[in-house]
Amino acid sequence: MTGTLAALGAGLAVIGAGIGLGQIGGKAVEAIARQPEASGDIRGAMILMAAFMEGAALIAILLAFFIK
């Protein structure tokens, strides 16, 4: 049953990542709508933040894979 628990952990990590991505994407679109001239900077920051968040999620998923 350890495999099942690991899969559960991976799933939980993805829920967290999903919430994070939603926040980042939503706020970035909002910011671009408010200030379209700053869209370039906002997009760069958005991708960077998404990468940070995704890194945490991926570490959780990889740990779920490796720790049996």
Q: Which positions lie near another protein, rule CB under 8 A?
A: 3, 40, 44, 47-48, 51-52, 54-56, 58-59, 61-62, 65-66, 68
Supply the DSSP string of 19-61, one letter for each residue.
Answer: HHHHHHHHHHHHHHHH-GGGHHHHHHHHHHHHHHHHHHHHHHH
Q: How far is the CB of 33 from another protein (least distance, A)?
A: 21
Nearer to another protein (CB atom), residue 22 or residue 55: 55
Of 31 and 49, which has the nearer Cβ to another protein? 49
**C-alpha span between 48 and 27 (Å, rounded):** 14
